[in-house]
Amino acid sequence: MALRTPLYDQHLAAGAKMVDFGGWDMPINYGSQLEEHHQVRRAVGMFDVSHMTVVDVDGSEAQAYLQYLLANDVARLKTPGKALYSGMLNEQGGVIDDLIVYLAGDGYRVVVNAATREKDLAWMSKQADSFAVNLTERSELAMIAVQGPLALELVKSVVSDDRAALISDLKPFQGLPSGDWFIGRTGYTGEDGLEIMLPAEQSADFWQTLLAAGCKPCGLGARDTLRLEAGMNLYGADMDESISPLAANMAWTIAWEPAERDFIGRQALEAQKAAGDQPKLVGLVLEERAVLRGHQKVIVDGVGEGEITSGTFSPTLGYSIALARVPRATGSSAKVEIRGKLLDVRVVKPSFVRNGQSVIE
């Protein structure tokens, strides 16, 4: 029996095509993935992300614990509600999961992936043994991501004045509580938007309110093409426990300073960095009439081979894009094998679209 979010009936009512995602019965689209994608880039759309796992970290050693658990440094979070993105690594420097952590009062709120929930919670609990810290999974919360250039205005128009004021004051990558809600100006689309955590029993009414205000429901299909255009990694596709953050375009999430901060995986990462032999995650652009897909082989003349980790047709750009892991010495061009043919691709920074516009250099 697949798990269902509190919004399951709303999805069926909106005509969703449901698929299994990490054990959850989730909407892949509500008709057209392309239209949903454009809706978010051009206006506003909403996603049910209630399957994601929310864990509150409290206790006198909450900061010390997360400083040891994560490659990024939560001591960088200075203002209330400020968030950061980090890898949670194993001792070998492989990525157990990627996550967002918000500074929440005296503690922290961590949001991890749905498909990795069990191993994440087990790892987090194990590491918590030596710290004065409490971990509380908040499975009673639903989460709705409202994304797109009109997202903030639309949400403000349907919530209380207090919440609208809070949203107006939120900085990008900041999330704050409002009563029993938590509103974060975060997302996974490359657009402005909000991720709203609220008690499950309120979520269907809020979803209907957003729908009535013109917010279109969007499925996991559009979520994937939006995040890929934005150059955001998908755990399990672009990195996993066998991949270093250095090989996953996550070097910027490793806080090397202060040098005396020990975190899990640090030694392994330092050795990798010194060796300089990790492959790199790059962007690929194919302007021919074909589509780059995960696991296609990438050939770099005179250098070696790599592999596409995520690929798609980019609805915003009108051609195909991909993330690929290739040898570090790869330059600005490569070839991809598609159905027995070698097609030329451009190698670019792994970010393609932000705020509705191409950012390919």
Q: How far is the CB of 221 from another protein (least distance, A)?
A: 7
Given the complex with another protein, which of 126 and 339 has the nearer CB atom? 339
Q: How far is the CB of 47 from another protein (least distance, A)?
A: 17
Q: Which of 164, 237, 290, 317 binds another protein (CB under 8 A)?
A: 290
List the beta bridge partners of residue 26: 19
Given the complex with another protein, which of 87 and 311 has the nearer CB atom? 311
Give the burial class of 357: count Cβ atoms within 10 A of its Cβ; 0-12 exposed, 13-18 middle, 19 or more buried: exposed
309 touches another protein (CB under 8 A):
no
Site for another protein in 31-50 (CB under 8 A): 32-34
211 touches another protein (CB under 8 A):
no
Distance CA 326, CA 279 (A): 6
Q: How far is the CB of 33 from another protein (least distance, A)?
A: 5
Q: How far is the CB of 313 from another protein (least distance, A)?
A: 4
317 touches another protein (CB under 8 A):
no
Given the complex with another protein, which of 36 and 120 has the nearer CB atom? 36
Q: Find the part of the chain contacting another protein (CB under 8 A) among 115-123, 139-147, 169-177, 284-292.
A: 284-292
DSSP letter, residue 75: G
Say which amino acid occupies 86.
S
Distance CA 336, CA 348 (A): 14
- Whether residue 74 contacts residue 65, with contact meaning beta carbons closer than 8 Å, is answered with no
For the chain, give the number of residues: 361
Q: How many CB atoms lie within 10 A of CB 39?
A: 21
Q: Which of 1, 262, 339, 361 binds another protein (CB under 8 A)?
A: 339
Given the complex with another protein, which of 163 and 293 has the nearer CB atom? 293
Reading the block at residue 190, the tokens are 């490359």
Q: Which of 182, 206, 313, 352 binds another protein (CB under 8 A)?
A: 313
Contacts with another protein by CB under 8 A: the residue count is: 14
Give phi and psi for 127, each to the nearest 5. -70, -20
Say which amino acid occupies 205.
D
315 touches another protein (CB under 8 A):
yes
Site for another protein in 66-85 (CB under 8 A): none
Tokens 């962007």 belong to which residue?
283
The C-alpha angle with vertex 173 and arms to 238 and 235, in degrees rounded to 5, equals 15
Three-state DSSP class for residue 40: helix
The helix (H) or strand (E) run that includes residue 176 is: strand 175-178
221 touches another protein (CB under 8 A):
yes
Q: How far is the CB of 196 from another protein (least distance, A)?
A: 27
293 touches another protein (CB under 8 A):
yes
Annotated binding residue 61: no
Given the complex with another protein, which of 32 and 357 has the nearer CB atom? 32
Q: Are strands 216-217 and 45-48 parallel, antiparallel or unpaired?
A: parallel
Say which amino acid occupies 226.
L
Give phi and psi for 8, each to the nearest 5. -55, -45
Q: Which of 161, 252, 289, 361 binds another protein (CB under 8 A)?
A: 289
List contacts with another protein (CB under 8 A): 29, 32-34, 221, 225, 289-291, 293, 312-313, 315, 339
Residues in the annotated binding site for substrate: 195
